């Protein structure tokens, strides 16, 4: 419930602004311009303004060799129609051997609205409500599809000119129509263009050429241009993948900040076309490399059934992770308590399994809901909130004290509920399943990463099935054991050993509390960890006081409560002020902090790159770090091959890291990726081994020496 409250509030807090959508790469805003009000025949404009981060760009109506044009879907009231985008002049973006057409920095894509006499403003707001669903592709060296939904209310009885300069600048950036004529003559495998009517001061100056019709010319091929008196001419190669044969070709010519547009009449017969494709082959290749190449080690992309099987296997393996072991040991005690009562043992197994599966389904519903609300989440996301880490430390402390015999749960609850608890042991078993999932959340097992990464991109129903399969896999061993009589015969008879084992299981819980204190220290600093430690001590004192009698119980209890409340207030102030992200990211000279674009920079310098996606709360990450990534021999192998080591620390929420995980087909940590210039990115196992890492290094080509690389940077 605490997780739902924390994350539900965070999601609702970000849903207020409907006219602006912000990602790590772009800021998209829906703007309006109605300088003479909303009257029939008057100019009314709306437009999507895209502000790109440095080095990122989106695309023109013809994206060029790769890319996709921005797509706008309008939902307008009766009597209002949206026209076509008035595209500003594009520019060319060479990327390797490709050339794309698009926009960088800030661009406005204006669209005219036609207001008829049938239009009636909204009865509630007295305004024109404009709804837009937009999709755009932004690229740097990698390409990322983005989208947003926008809502804008334009007052019906007043003029809107606040964004007039922005719209006027966009109108000025549009190509001017030419009134003369232009022709395109098909000449074998090329096109010959002739354009008349261009301004006289352009003669003998080179122009840039942009065809509005996509997939006709070979965009990145060499082409020639010349002036024949007052006529501009050009020879442009046809594309081998040409899919269209237009009768007329609208073209745009630019020179500096000026541009002109004209429809060129096509003369001649088009050669046979290639098979049409929904997406250009160049874009298909770019997206395949940028989004799914890292998963190519397994041969092909996951299918839904393969993801279900992976989730089931991941859940099974999760039982062997150190996070879950204390809870499973407690369940063994439950087996022994039932003795030869087969019915009670089976009921216990079913209830525990139901708790596990229900918890995973609830977690899946939460992830799907928050993803739909625009949140970027992954496995273990709740542990990125310092308040949740503190709450789990308190819960684990109480569980450990209960196992040690310091208090019993019935001391906290009314006698009626205590009797209900004893008469319904299935409730305890169900809650044990819930606790097992809570304890397991910091762990990632093999097969889990690919399955969960696949799940977050599926429709809600299929994603929930993936989470349910993960819960089924985790619950399956206990469920089978509870229904197999032979397993019960392997257990010793109930006796004193059960009390000793129960008390022994308190120590792993206390160890988990120490680990959570360390995580909180990484997130919010040593003061927050110290305040939480005092709260835990006061809570332990309160639990111990429940076993006292008379006035002593009251006095000790009051002192403990006052102590706990005071330091809890101090703790709340500390966890509310999260440390800067660079305080979490380790940069010790050997490892550098991962930032977007750093991998590409290092690869361009000729160095291979190894990225450790990790988090302080990820137990598997810490195990791999201690056993492999801090191994002197492994570090020596990295150094010998001049491998750049980057650490992406996901201890606190970081949308850039979340996006990078998603591009690699994962939704959680640990994730280990090895990049080279000669092959697709290689994803290594969640349980990392020195032999696997060395095999990946051995297969990679040698990089330039460190001295040469450093000089090049």
Shared-domain flag, residues 608 and 663:
yes
pLDDT at 72: 93
**The last residue of a domain, from among 158, 174, 190:** 174
pLDDT at 586: 46
Q: Would 514 be classed as within a structural domain?
A: no
Residue (of 469, 475, 457, 443) closest to 306 by Cα position = 469
Question: 525-560: per-residue pLDDT in tens?
Answer: 787 888 888 888 888 888 888 777 778 878 887 887
Q: 482 in helix, strand or coil?
A: helix
Distance CA 354, CA 346 (A): 12
pLDDT at 132: 92
Q: What is the CATH number of the domain that holds 208?
A: 2.60.40
Distance CA 488, CA 134 (A): 60
- pLDDT exceeds cutoff 80 at 486: no
pLDDT at 85: 92
Q: Where would I find the H helices in 94-241?
A: 164-172
Shared-domain flag, residues 465 and 607:
no
Shared-domain flag, residues 609 and 681:
yes
Beta strand 176-177 with 258-267 is parallel
- Number of CB atoms found within 10 A of residue 383's CB: 23
Question: 270-284: per-residue pLDDT in tens?
Answer: 887 654 444 445 544
Q: Which structure tokens are listed for 453?
A: 């990464």
In which domain, by residue range, is 308 found?
295-384+408-505
Residue (of 584, 655, 580, 591) closest to 616 by Cα position = 584
Percentage of the chain modeled with pLDDT above 70: 75
| DSSP structure string for 657-705 | HHHHHHHTT-SSS-EEEEE-SSS--EEPPSS--HHHHHHHHHHSPPPPP
pLDDT at 7: 35
Distance CA 691, CA 586 (A): 25
Distance CA 90, CA 67 (A): 14
Confidence of residue 87 (pLDDT cuts 50, 70, 90): very high
Give mean pLDDT, residues 185-190.
Answer: 86
Q: Would 449 be classed as within a structural domain?
A: yes
Element (H, E) at 338: helix 325-338
pLDDT at 460: 72
- pLDDT exceeds cutoff 70 at 240: yes
Confidence of residue 645 (pLDDT cuts 50, 70, 90): very high
- pLDDT exceeds cutoff 80 at 572: no
Give mean pLDDT, residues 147-161.
Answer: 82
Q: Lowest-pLDDT range, 236-240, 313-317, 322-326, 474-478?
A: 322-326
Give the sheet arrangement for strand 644-649, strand by strand.
Answer: 591-593, 644-649, 609-614, 671-675, 682-683
pLDDT at 611: 93
pLDDT at 377: 54
Residue (of 36, 24, 66) closest to 290 by Cα position = 66
Shared-domain flag, residues 302 and 221:
no
Distance CA 505, CA 501 (A): 6
pLDDT at 583: 37
- pLDDT exceeds cutoff 60 at 313: yes
Pick from 432-436, 486-490, 581-585 the range whose average pLDDT is largest: 432-436
Distance CA 105, CA 57 (A): 7
Query: What is the Cα gyration radius of the chain?
Result: 32
Q: 433 in helix, strand or coil?
A: helix
Does the predicted model carry a pTM greater than 0.85?
no
Confidence of residue 15 (pLDDT cuts 50, 70, 90): very low
CB-CB contact of 228 with 196 (8 Å): no
Q: Would 372 be classed as within a structural domain?
A: yes
Shared-domain flag, residues 126 and 191:
no
Could you give phi then psi for residue 213, rounded to 5 degrees?
-85, 120
Q: Which structure tokens are listed for 268?
A: 């001649």
- pLDDT exceeds cutoff 60 at 448: no
Residue written as tokens 């890492």? Answer: 693
- pLDDT exceeds cutoff 70 at 412: no
Confidence of residue 578 (pLDDT cuts 50, 70, 90): very low
Residue written as tokens 């009257």? Answer: 39
pLDDT at 603: 81
Q: Would 73 be classed as within a structural domain?
A: yes
Shared-domain flag, residues 317 and 455:
yes
Q: Would 3 be classed as within a structural domain?
A: no
Give mean pLDDT, residues 114-119.
Answer: 84
pLDDT at 6: 33
Overall number of domains in the chain: 4
- pLDDT exceeds cutoff 50 at 223: yes
Residue (of 153, 45, 57) closest to 102 by Cα position = 57
Shared-domain flag, residues 301 and 189:
no
């Amino acid at each position: 419930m605490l997780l739902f409250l924390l994350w539900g509030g965070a999601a609702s807090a970000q849903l207020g602004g409907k006219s602006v959508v912000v990602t790590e790469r772009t800021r998209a805003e829906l703007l309006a311009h109605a300088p003479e009000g909303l009257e029939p025949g008057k100019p009314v404009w709306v437009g999507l303004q895209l502000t790109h981060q440095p080095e990122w760009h989106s695309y023109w109506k013809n994206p060029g060799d790769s890319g996709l044009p921005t797509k706008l879907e309008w939902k307008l009231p009766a009597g209002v129609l949206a026209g076509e985008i008035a595209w500003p002049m594009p520019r060319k973006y060479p990327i390797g051997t490709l050339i794309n057409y698009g926009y960088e920095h800030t661009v406005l894509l204006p669209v005219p609205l036609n207001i008829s006499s049938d239009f009636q403003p909204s009865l509630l707001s007295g305004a024109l409500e404009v709804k837009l669903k937009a999709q755009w592709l932004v690229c740097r060296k990698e390409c990322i599809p983005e989208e947003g939904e926008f809502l804008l209310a334009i007052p019906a009885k007043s003029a809107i000119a606040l964004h007039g300069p922005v719209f006027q600048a966009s109108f000025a950036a549009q190509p001017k129509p030419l009134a003369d004529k232009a022709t395109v003559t098909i000449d074998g495998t090329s096109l010959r263009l002739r354009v008349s009517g261009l301004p006289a001061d352009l003669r003998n100056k080179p122009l840039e050429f942009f065809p509005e019709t996509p997939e006709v010319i070979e965009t990145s091929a060499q082409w020639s241009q010349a002036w024949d008196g007052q006529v501009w001419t050009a020879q442009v190669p046809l594309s081998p993948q040409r899919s269209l044969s237009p009768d007329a070709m609208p073209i745009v010519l630019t020179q500096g900040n000026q541009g002109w547009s004209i429809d060129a009449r096509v003369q001649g017969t088009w050669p046979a076309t290639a098979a049409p494709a929904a997406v250009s082959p160049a874009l298909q290749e770019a997206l395949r490399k940028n989004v799914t190449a890292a998963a190519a080690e397994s041969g092909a992309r996951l299918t839904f059934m393969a993801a279900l099987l992976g989730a089931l296997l991941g859940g099974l393996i999760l039982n062997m992770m150190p996070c879950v072991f204390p809870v499973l040991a407690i369940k063994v005690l439950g087996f022994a308590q039932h003795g030869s009562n087969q019915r009670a043992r089976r009921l216990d197994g079913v209830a525990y399994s139901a708790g596990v599966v229900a918890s995973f389904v609830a977690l899946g519903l939460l992830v799907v809901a928050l993803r739909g609300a625009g949140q970027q989440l992954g496995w273990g996301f709740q542990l990125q909130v310092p308040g949740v880490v503190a709450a789990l430390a308190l819960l684990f402390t109480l569980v450990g004290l209960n196992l040690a015999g310091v208090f019993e749960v019935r001391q906290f609850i009314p006698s009626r509920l205590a009797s209900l608890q004893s008469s319904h042991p299935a409730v305890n078993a169900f809650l044990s399943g819930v606790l097992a999932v809570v304890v397991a959340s910091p762990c990632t097992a093999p097969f889990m990463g690919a399955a969960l990464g696949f799940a977050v991109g599926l429709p809600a129903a299929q994603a929930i099935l993936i989470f349910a399969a993960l819960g089924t896999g985790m619950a399956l061993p206990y469920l089978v054991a509870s229904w197999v009589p032979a397993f019960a015969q392997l257990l010793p008879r109930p006796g004193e050993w059960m009390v000793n084992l129960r008390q022994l299981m308190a120590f792993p819980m206390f160890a988990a509390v120490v680990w959570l204190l360390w995580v909180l220290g990484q997130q919010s600093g040593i003061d927050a960890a110290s305040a939480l430690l005092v709260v835990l001590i006061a809570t332990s004192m309160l639990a111990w006081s429940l076993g006292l009698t008379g006035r002593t119980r009251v006095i000790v209890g009051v002192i403990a409560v006052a102590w706990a409340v005071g330091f809890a207030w101090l703790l709340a102030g500390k966890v509310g002020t999260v440390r800067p992200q660079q305080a979490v990211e380790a940069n010790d000279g050997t490892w550098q902090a991962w930032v977007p674009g750093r991998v590409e920079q290092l690869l361009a310098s000729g160095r291979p790159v190894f990225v450790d996606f990790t988090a302080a709360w990820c137990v598997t990450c810490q195990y791999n770090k201690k056993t492999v990534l801090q191994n002197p021999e492994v570090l020596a192998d990295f150094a010998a091959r001049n491998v750049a080591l980057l650490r992406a620390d996901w201890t606190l929420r970081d949308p850039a890291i979340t996006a990078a995980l998603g591009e690699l087909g994962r939704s959680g940590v640990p994730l280990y990726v090895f990049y080279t210039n000669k092959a697709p990115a290689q994803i290594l196992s969640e349980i990392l081994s020195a032999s696997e890492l060395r095999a990946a290094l051995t297969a990679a080509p040698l990089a330039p020496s460190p001295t040469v690389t450093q000089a090049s940077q």
